[in-house]
Chains A and B, each alone.
Chain A
């Protein structure tokens, strides 16, 4: 299988505070990897290091074999290959739903407005938001916002989508609609890295589960392995707490 992302010896420090230590991890094409762990364990930092919203202190990140930390690597281009869905949605407030989905295509991918609009409408249909193309973000519910944010990321036709706790800011009744979309995306073969507290999603949808604790990957494996036969004490404790 082709490796899309390969992380080697990644370290990240904020001042003297080392929040990620010796992370080694790789993601293959079509794989769905979920990252779980208690809050403050470094999950977001890892995700943000992958698309370089944070600059790693040391280590390597290879995208399809090329080191993205190389000085001459085309960073904006790299980011178009990775979509990002945020906990707080981060829809552009000054644009309506359609423009949120077209602005990146037009500005970054240099698509024509007509083409961008066509792609946007297809992806908005995928997330069930085609009826809201002219709504402003503030007119939408949290679940609707997150669906638009997913469509916005999909419009860039990324090789891999990164999700940072996409349902944590939602009211309980809206969590389902977003998870359903993520599930269908996973089934369509999209490569995804998902930081989540939704253990059902991690168990049922992902191919591999990564458990992080205090800045290191404490244990990883299939959902079956992590949820049913964890080997590490820390993993067992964590699962006991969240599944209780």
Chain B
């Protein structure tokens, strides 16, 4: 019965694995595609929405759509190139690696052609020019500022790896905060009062102001604001170094006049998703994004379940391998030693580095070094599995150690081989021994797979970031997600408790004879007679 059940779960898991793998096979490089990368969370340049309203384009591998100034420009370029536009949602820090590793053809993401960036990628001509402003809180200490000097002592930050951050030093006696990953995070920080403001570009500030009535944009007069180089405030399209695409795109950009650019920008700012104050926020968030959360939660569960199951199998494999009696031939001895060394290195490396770093190295590294373009979900499954495997190996070791020596001896004394002893006596007991720790690993995975948002896997946290990036209700969105995480982990913990209880069975036993007296009176009568 239980055997059949495990078989079933296993088949189901394999199936899911295949289904997630399959899209990667069908998405083999198509010549007619123009693949562009963007955050889809940097309004008004790019954002995520739920429908194709206002000419939004579907995001690859997702049910969501991308809209914004960048999308409009990308559409024009794709049309003139006579290629099919494919939008690949990518984290800001992942954009350049995605381009150099060939996962995308161009970056159209409101990116400025700074000299540093030009070291690794090429930029086309400018397709938008903006200037820097500071977004602050309405009615706050700095809301009425007109010059940089007015921001004395203000806690100011900007996005990591942007020139926005370096210009903060131009504010006299500023309290420069650590840079943040993305605009969502900065808006949360601003709304909650952690910072007094952040440096941004006018379109983004306008958007934020429009979406959240607590924000106020501070603009500076001509010579009272930040001094910037034209490279910085200009926005251009990034392409691979030496790519012929640059010439082709420049030609197309030449046909879009400054007036047209302004016009597109004005209309996109108007079209942005807006907030509606009358509805109850939880309901509104659930209604608008329930599907996204559900898919995110599903992905999170898939990642952590497969990761835990595969990780446990890896741990079990290595753990059992290490119980093998020392081989007799020299060759086998050497092989044994080699494998053992390999396992040790594997365990130590994966236990001593953060999963978020492993994800970056494996996902972008495999593309850059070997030219393999792994499907994001597959990459995430692999990362969680081998990461969990490293931990499970140690847990299994403890689980084997906890089995009494007498169990091995009794099996041996019956004439069982090592393999028979392991499969019919030891491993079942190890499974029971490691069940609590495995459950714990599962719960940890549910939470820790959130770091995989760095490789843009659409798990729950990534979905939440996307939602918050477009609705600007950071606390509300993350609160809902917090509850979803809790419900998932709590349910899993309870289910595992039950499983443990069921496996252990009751402490006392009603002998078969007593039941027989009830069920088969004639049999017991015979016995007594």
| Nearest Cβ on chain B to A151's Cβ, whole angstroms | 13
> In the complex the two chains form, what is the Cα distance from A104 to B415 in whole Å?
8
Q: Which residues between 385 and 431 of chain B lie within 8 Å of chain A, taking CB atoms?
A: 404, 406-407, 409-417, 420, 424-425, 428-429
B413, B424, B507, B513: which contacts A84 (Cβ < 8 A)?
B413
| Nearest Cβ on chain B to A134's Cβ, whole angstroms | 7
For chain B, which range describes its interface: under 10, 10 to 19, 20 to 34, or 35 or more residues?
A: 20 to 34
Which residues of chain B have C-beta atoms less than 8 A from A53's C-beta? 409, 412-413
Q: Are A92 and B420 in contact (CB under 8 A)?
A: no
Which residues of chain A have C-beta atoms less than 8 A from B410's C-beta? 84, 86, 90-92, 149
B331 at the interface (CB under 8 A from A): no
Count of CB-CB pairs between chains A and B under 8 Å: 83
Task: Please give the residue numbers on chain A whose beta carbons come within 8 Å of chain B beta carbons, in ascending order.
Answer: 51, 53, 76-80, 82-84, 86, 88-95, 103-104, 107-108, 130-136, 138-140, 149, 152, 156
Most buried by A among B420, B428, B509: B509
B213 at the interface (CB under 8 A from A): no
Q: Are B509 and A94 in contact (CB under 8 A)?
A: no
Q: Which residues between 486 and 515 of chain B lie within 8 Å of chain A, taking CB atoms?
A: 505-509, 511-514
A80, A94, A130: which contacts B429 (Cβ < 8 A)?
A94
Q: Are A135 and B509 in contact (CB under 8 A)?
A: yes
Which residues of chain B have C-beta atoms less than 8 A from A82's C-beta? 413
Q: Are A104 and B511 in contact (CB under 8 A)?
A: no
Which residues of chain B have C-beta atoms less than 8 A from A149's C-beta? 410
Q: Are B428 and A140 in contact (CB under 8 A)?
A: no
Which residues of chain A have C-beta atoms less than 8 A from B414's C-beta? 79-80, 103-104, 108, 152, 156
B447 at the interface (CB under 8 A from A): no
Name 7 A/B residue pairs within 8 A (Cβ), A-sorted. Answer: A53-B409, A76-B416, A86-B406, A91-B410, A103-B425, A108-B415, A134-B512
Q: Are A132 and B512 in contact (CB under 8 A)?
A: yes
Q: Are A139 and B509 in contact (CB under 8 A)?
A: yes
Closest chain A residue to B515, Cβ basis = A131
B432 at the interface (CB under 8 A from A): yes
> In the complex the two chains form, what is the Cα distance from A130 to B507 in whole Å?
19
| Nearest Cβ on chain A to B93's Cβ, whole angstroms | 49
| Nearest Cβ on chain B to A213's Cβ, whole angstroms | 26
Most buried by B among A82, A92, A132: A92
Most buried by A among B406, B409, B413, B424: B413
Q: Are B509 and A108 in contact (CB under 8 A)?
A: no
Which residues of chain B have C-beta atoms less than 8 A from A135's C-beta? 509, 511
Task: Please give the residue numbers on chain B whose beta carbons come within 8 Å of chain A beta carbons, in ascending order.
Answer: 404, 406-407, 409-417, 420, 424-425, 428-429, 432, 505-509, 511-514
Q: Are B512 and A139 in contact (CB under 8 A)?
A: no
Q: Are B425 and A92 in contact (CB under 8 A)?
A: yes
> In the complex the two chains form, what is the Cα distance from A91 to B410 in whole Å?
8
Which residues of chain B have C-beta atoms less than 8 A from A79's C-beta? 412-415
Closest chain B residue to A134, Cβ basis = B512
> In the complex the two chains form, what is the Cα distance from A9 to B427 in whole Å?
39
Q: A92-B425, A103-B424, A139-B507 are in contact. Are A131 and B513 (CB under 8 A)?
A: yes
Q: Are B513 and A139 in contact (CB under 8 A)?
A: no
Closest chain B residue to A109, Cβ basis = B415
Q: Are B508 and A139 in contact (CB under 8 A)?
A: yes
> In the complex the two chains form, what is the Cα distance from A82 to B409 in whole Å?
13
> In the complex the two chains form, what is the Cα distance from A156 to B506 in whole Å?
30
Q: Are A80 and B425 in contact (CB under 8 A)?
A: no
Given A82-B413, A108-B416, A139-B506, list of 16 further CB < 8 A pairs? A79-B415, A84-B409, A84-B410, A86-B410, A103-B425, A104-B414, A104-B415, A107-B416, A108-B420, A130-B512, A131-B513, A134-B509, A135-B511, A138-B507, A139-B508, A149-B410
| Nearest Cβ on chain B to A162's Cβ, whole angstroms | 8
> In the complex the two chains form, what is the Cα distance from A61 to B424 in whole Å?
30
Which residues of chain B have C-beta atoms less than 8 A from A140's C-beta? 509
Which residues of chain A have C-beta atoms less than 8 A from B411's C-beta? 92
Q: A134-B512, A138-B507 are in contact. Are A90 and B407 (CB under 8 A)?
A: yes
Closest chain B residue to A88, Cβ basis = B406
Q: A90-B404, A94-B428 are in contact. Are A136 and B509 (CB under 8 A)?
A: yes
| Nearest Cβ on chain A to B92's Cβ, whole angstroms | 52
Which residues of chain B have C-beta atoms less than 8 A from A89's C-beta? 406
| Nearest Cβ on chain A to B474's Cβ, whole angstroms | 50
> In the complex the two chains form, what is the Cα distance from A82 to B413 in whole Å?
8
Which residues of chain B have C-beta atoms less than 8 A from A84's C-beta? 409-410, 413
Q: Are A80 and B512 in contact (CB under 8 A)?
A: no
Q: Are A94 and B432 in contact (CB under 8 A)?
A: yes
> In the complex the two chains form, what is the Cα distance from A152 to B509 in whole Å?
20
| Nearest Cβ on chain A to B517's Cβ, whole angstroms | 11
> In the complex the two chains form, what is the Cα distance from A89 to B417 in whole Å?
20
The 3 closest A-B pairs by CB, nearest first: A104-B414, A90-B410, A90-B406
> In the complex the two chains form, what is the Cα distance from A236 to B396 in whole Å?
52
Q: Are B416 and A94 in contact (CB under 8 A)?
A: no
Q: Are A76 and B512 in contact (CB under 8 A)?
A: no
A77, A91, A95, A130: which contacts B415 (Cβ < 8 A)?
A77
Q: Are B511 and A131 in contact (CB under 8 A)?
A: yes
Closest chain B residue to A104, Cβ basis = B414
| Nearest Cβ on chain A to B328's Cβ, whole angstroms | 10
> In the complex the two chains form, what is the Cα distance from A82 to B414 in whole Å?
8
Closest chain A residue to B427, Cβ basis = A94
Q: Are A93 and B429 in contact (CB under 8 A)?
A: yes
Q: Are A90 and B415 in contact (CB under 8 A)?
A: no
Which residues of chain B have C-beta atoms less than 8 A from A51's C-beta? 413
| Nearest Cβ on chain A to B138's Cβ, whole angstroms | 66
Which residues of chain A have C-beta atoms less than 8 A from B432's C-beta? 94
| Nearest Cβ on chain A to B287's Cβ, whole angstroms | 50
> In the complex the two chains form, what is the Cα distance from A114 to B449 in whole Å?
48
> In the complex the two chains form, what is the Cα distance from A103 to B425 in whole Å?
9
> In the complex the two chains form, what is the Cα distance from A136 to B412 in whole Å?
21
| Nearest Cβ on chain A to B146's Cβ, whole angstroms | 77
> In the complex the two chains form, what is the Cα distance from A140 to B508 in whole Å?
8
B412, B420, B508, B509: which contacts A107 (Cβ < 8 A)?
B420
> In the complex the two chains form, what is the Cα distance from A91 to B411 in whole Å?
9
Which residues of chain A have C-beta atoms less than 8 A from B407's C-beta? 90, 92-93
